[in-house]
Chain A
Amino acid sequence: MSDTPRPELVVEGLPGRRRPRWVELATSADHKDLGRILVCGALGFLFIALLEMLLMRLQLAIPENTFLSPVAFNRMLSLYGATAIFLFALPLALGLFYYAAPLQIGARGTALPRLGQIGVGLWVAGATALYAGFLFTPSEAGVNPLAPLTELAFLSNNGVDAWATATGLATLGFVFLAIDLLTTLRVLRAPGMAWRRVPVFAWAATVASWLLLTIGPVLLAALTMLMIDRNYDGIFFADGSGGAPLLWQHLSWIFYSGAYMLILIFAFGAIAEIVSAFSGRPLVNRATIMASLVAIAVLGTLAWMQNMLTAPIGIGWMYFAMLMSLALVVPFGLVVFNLISTMNGGVLRMRAPLLFALGAISSISIGLGAELEHSMVGAAWELKNTTDATAATHFALVGGAVFGGFAALYYWFPKMTGRTMGENLARASFWTMGVGILLAFVPLFLAGSEQGQVIDAYKYFGGTGVSAYNLIASVGALVLAAGIAMTLLNAILSRENGPAAGHDPWGGDSLEWFALSPPEPHNFDVLPDVRSARPMRDIRDAIAHRTAGDDAPARERQPVA
């Protein structure tokens, strides 16, 4: 922050009587403060999710282990699922959207800052509810707890209530954030920034917000019904009194499928920015990538019944789900094709953000390749609910949320803190994570597809041919966790002590690099007129032209399009 007072700033309170930093942060409605709360919180919960995963993998390291009791394992499983999805992946994506997208479109803040503040507050309340539940009884019902197991008759302690409250509060918070983001992106774009010039990451934020507005209320409705069932003698999901257990599956899978797509949309939005910046050239075909992200959101959510291929639903619905899933091949393929064509002909600077972005593409390709097989109905009848599905989901989502999220973190960390994260620790972290994810999940592919080892089970039996696979997977999980911890450590160490980054460390094309690092509360003193999809390059060129002081004409601008 600069020391010279600015005439347009109203200074509240008396100098020297500023409130403590944490009070400032807790009461701030600034999108950068709220984004940082979400990102820091999400990374903290990533660490907790890792511990939970390691406890489960420790239990599964040897057959018929008694390290965790069945109940303890089911609780770990439920906590891990809720933490990884609602407290890590989604808030990390939303936090980075919320931090960077307003800067990218040249906004001085968000349109509805109080709504965003309430959104973050609700998320914090949800996180508290989930882990306050740990003090009495966490849920034992699994990652997506299928009714009627969640009914009072089968799980009578308040674990499921705590789970539903936590996920409900967090989801409501996400919906509020999405409303704020969407309004901001619609009304606060800098002069001249037509939709076709909006940075891909900000476009991804738009698509993700629309998606959340669609799927968030669906889960909220389902959770409300569940709470009525449990606390007010409802019968929505209870069989025998006119209730329908399958209703829960439909509603919840609409949310989970959409959230899966949201994480990948976030990852590809960030990866596109990074690939473009580190290749030194614009994306080969922005329009295709932007359209593909929309298609991914629509098709991916419509494919919700892909998760219900063994349920008693008609074969026609199964083929419909398969059609939607397989149609995803086209937009995902086009996005990856355009990213690779952008690299071909570019000059690649192999810094940490690009390294993690490439790791994300690779990991997601393995995950989605396997999901391709899972969407083929007949094949799904064998593969569903085996560890093969665990591995596919984890390759795609660890690829998107952890590799992709870390790529975005390494890329925008200098903007958030003014400092760059350590490059050597980043490389060590990347390669450890790369080895770890292969060791942890390739054996699960084999155990699931060859031996049919089932998911969510607290133990397996010796002599079923899966013992060696599970032992390797447990070691791999440890390696993966160590790699992830290195980047978390890197972020903590670099926050105060990293090399100073400057305002535009990567030579990016979008407007967040026009702001200071870290940006001032009002983001920009002056806003440039946006004349192309690469406003920051235009500014750099104009400055270079002016400081050169000669009469040479400025570099030709991209045609106004």
Chain B
Amino acid sequence: MAPHSPGTDQIDTLLLIGFLAAAIVVVAVNVALVAAVRRNRARRGAEPRPVAPDRRRQLRVGTVLTVFAAVVFVVSVVFTDRAREAPVTGPAGLASEKSGLLTIKATGQQWLWRYDYPNGSFSYYKLVVPVDTAVKLELLSTDVVHTWDVPDLSGKRDAVPGKTNKVVFSADEEGVYEGQSASLSGQAYAAMRTAVEVVSPEAYEAFLKQQKADIDAAQDRVVGLIENGEVP
């Protein structure tokens, strides 16, 4: 994973901290285990030492563990809260903090993602967004639980039918970011992929216009066909 959004930057740091915490646990336990085995293997004439009460040692170990857990908790809350803050919209961005974030509706359905843009146009599979602009995705589902996951731009979020979930990100570089749905949703789940194409604001505007025009043209054509009686 290569973070390309302020939120994923924070998550990336937290992942590193989490990895270190996990490594501390694993190394401490396993080193102590191997050392205990090496030191105490049965030898001729060896007698087990009697067990002495050790209340204070228990208390000390308990305190160390509590402090460790508390530190991990506080650090996690700090970085998670930073990751949740809406990224600031850049100078070229379309939405300022005043007018709210650029909001796009992402609807999961077996087995496709549909994106609805503010101007009424929509696209399937591929989401097009402007660079350096805070984007808020409203996640919805029309059937089962789907999980929207484009690791470089944001953490995962579930689209649960009947509920609205949201993802906020701001891509810092133009390009295409691949993603995949991450909750078992039926037969074609593994093929339920998505991609976010990050383009310049001008290209984004052009894309929206073009998409809108294409959709309208297609719709007009269908309506025309129906009116002409060519399609029942």
**CB-based contact B30/A322 at 8 Å:** no
Q: A346 — nearest CB in chain B belongs to which residue?
A: B48
Cβ of A365 within 8 Å of any chain B Cβ, yes or no, is yes
Q: Does A499 contact B (CB under 8 A)?
A: no
Partner among B65, B158, B164 whose Cβ is within 8 Å of the Cβ of A310:
B158
Residue pair A369, B22 in contact (C-beta under 8 Å) = yes
Judging by beta carbons under 8 Å apart, are A376 and B76 in contact? yes
Instruction: Name the segment of A93-101, A163-171, A196-204, A335-343 touching the other chain.
Output: A335-343
The verdict on A358 contacting B23 (CB below 8 Å), with A148-B145, A454-B180, A456-B189 known, is no
Interface residue? A239 (CB, 8 A): yes
Give Cα A148 to B158, complex, Å. Answer: 13
* Chain B nearest Cβ from A507, distance in angstroms: 11
**B188 in complex: contacting residue of A70, A280, A449, CB < 8 Å:** A70
- Interface size range of chain B in the complex: 35 or more
- Contact A319 B69, beta carbon cutoff 8 Å: no
Scoring B residues 37 to 51 as 1 if CB is less than 8 Å from chain A, else 0, what string do you get?
Answer: 101111100111111
Interfacial residues of chain A within 200-214, with CB under 8 A of chain B in the complex = none
Chain A residues with CB under 8 Å of B76's CB are 322, 326, 376-379
Is A298 at the interface (CB under 8 A from chain B)?
no
Pick the contact of A327 from B18, B25, B33, B69 — CB < 8 Å? B69
Within the assembled complex, what's the spacing in Å between the Cα atoms of A347 and B182? 50
Q: Which of A77, A372, A378 contacts B21 (CB 8 A)?
A: A372
B155 beta carbon closer than 8 Å to chain A: yes
- Taking CB atoms, residues of chain A closer than 8 Å to B69 are 326-327, 329-330
Binds A, one of B54-62, B207-215, B222-230: B54-62
Chain A neighbourhood of B149, CB < 8 A: 385, 452, 454
> Is B36 an interface residue, CB under 8 A from the partner?
yes
Chain B nearest Cβ from A511, distance in angstroms: 20
Cα–Cα, bound, A72→B77 (Å): 41
- Are A310 and B157 in touch, CB under 8 angstroms? yes
Kindly state whether residue A504 has any CB partner on chain B within 8 Å. no
Beta-carbon nearest neighbor of A326 in chain B: B69
Kindly list chain A residues whose C-beta atoms are within 8 Å of the C-beta of B183. Answer: 146, 385, 456
- Chain B residues whose C-beta falls within 8 Å of the C-beta of A350 in the assembled complex: 37, 41-42
**Chain B residues near A250 (CB-CB < 8 A):** none
Residue contact A340 to B32, C-beta cutoff 8 Å: yes
List A330-356 residues whose CB lies under 8 Å from chain B.
330, 333-334, 336-338, 340-350
A147 contacts which chain B residues (CB < 8 A)?
A: 145
Q: Does B204 contact A (CB under 8 A)?
A: no
Contact A373 B1 (CB under 8 A): no
Instruction: Decide if B83 is an interface residue (CB 8 Å cutoff).
Output: yes
Task: State A366–B25 Cα separation when bound (angstroms).
Answer: 8
Shortest distance from the beta carbon of A389 to any chain B beta carbon, whole Å: 10
A240 to chain B: which residues have CB within 8 Å?
161-162
Known A319-B77, A385-B182; judge A347-B42 contact (CB<8 A).
yes
User: Which of the residues A279, A281, A454 comes within 8 Å of B50, measured between beta carbons?
Assistant: A281
Distance from B49 Cβ to chain A, minimum over Cβ atoms (Å): 4
Least CB distance, A283 to chain B, in whole angstroms: 8
Q: Determine the residue in chain A with the shortest Cβ distance to B150.
A: A452
Q: A146-B145, A148-B144, A386-B182 are in contact. Are A362 and B33 (CB under 8 A)?
A: yes
Count chain A residues whose beta carbon lies closer than 8 angstroms to a beta carbon of B.
89
Please tell me if A311 contacts chain B, counting CB pairs below 8 Å.
yes
Name which residue of chain A comes closest to B191, CB basis: A459
**Is B184 positioned at the interface, with any CB of A under 8 Å from its CB?**
yes
Q: How far is the CB of B142 from chain A (nearest CB, A)?
A: 9
Q: Which residue of A lies closest to B148 (CB)?
A: A310
Closest to B163 in A: A312
Is A285 part of the binding interface, using a Cβ–Cβ cutoff of 8 Å? yes
Contact A326 B62 (CB under 8 A): no
Q: How many inter-chain residue pairs (CB < 8 Å) link A and B?
A: 245
* Residue in chain A with minimal CB distance to B72: A326
Known contacts: A281-B48, A281-B49, A385-B183. The answer to whether A343 contacts B37 by CB under 8 A is: yes
A243 to B163, CA, bound (A): 11
CA distance A284 to B54 in the complex (A): 8
How far, in whole Å, are A169 and B232 apart by their CA atoms in the complex? Answer: 53
The reply on A460 being an interface residue by CB < 8 A is yes
Whole-angstrom CA separation of A267 from B68 in the bound complex: 24
Contact A322 B187 (CB under 8 A): no
Which of A142, A348, A380 is in CB contact (< 8 Å) with B41? A348
Of B8-16, B95-103, B114-122, B195-203, the segment with at least 4 beta carbons within 8 Å of chain A is: B8-16
Of A310, A334, A457, A464, the contact of B61 (CB 8 Å cutoff): A334
CB atoms of B40 and A346 under 8 A apart: yes
Contact between B30 and A365, CB atoms less than 8 A apart: yes
Contacting pair B147 A385 (CB below 8 A): yes
Contact B26 A366 (CB under 8 A): yes
A310 partner residues in chain B, CB cutoff 8 A: 147, 155-158
In the complex, what residues of B have CB within 8 A of residue A285's CB? 54, 58
Fill in one digit per residue for A133-160: 1 if any B CB lies within 8 Å of its CB, else 0. Answer: 0000000111000111100011100000
Residues in A with CB closer than 8 Å to B21 are: 369, 372-373
Contact residues of B between 154 and 171, Cβ < 8 Å to A: 154-158, 160-165
Q: Is the CB of A378 within 8 A of B155?
A: yes
Given the complex of chains A and B, what is the CA–CA distance between A361 and B41 in angstroms? 18
Q: Which residues of A contact B165 (CB under 8 A)?
A: 311-312
Chain B residue, CB-CB nearest to A348: B40
Output the least CB separation between A512 and chain B (Å).
21
Measured in the bound complex, the distance between the Cα atoms of B161 and A447 in whole Å is 30
Complex: chain B residue closest to A246, CB-CB: B160
Please report the C-alpha to C-alpha distance between residue A219 and residue B132 in the assembled complex, in whole angstroms.
46
Selected A-B contacts with CB under 8 Å, 10 pairs: A240-B161, A279-B40, A281-B51, A327-B69, A347-B47, A350-B42, A369-B22, A370-B22, A379-B15, A382-B155
A-B interface, 8 closest residue pairs, ranked by CB to CB distance from nearest: A381-B155, A373-B18, A457-B190, A239-B162, A239-B161, A378-B80, A345-B49, A365-B29
Could you tell me which A residues sit within 8 Å of B by CB distance?
70-71, 74, 77, 140-142, 146-149, 153-155, 239-240, 243-246, 279-285, 288, 310-312, 315, 318-319, 322-323, 326-327, 329-330, 333-334, 336-338, 340-350, 358, 361-362, 365-366, 368-370, 372-373, 376-386, 449-452, 454-460, 464
Q: Known pairs A310-B157, A329-B69, A382-B1. 18 more at Cβ < 8 A?
A: A77-B184, A149-B145, A329-B68, A330-B65, A342-B51, A344-B39, A345-B40, A345-B49, A372-B18, A378-B10, A379-B11, A381-B11, A381-B155, A381-B157, A452-B1, A454-B182, A456-B184, A457-B189
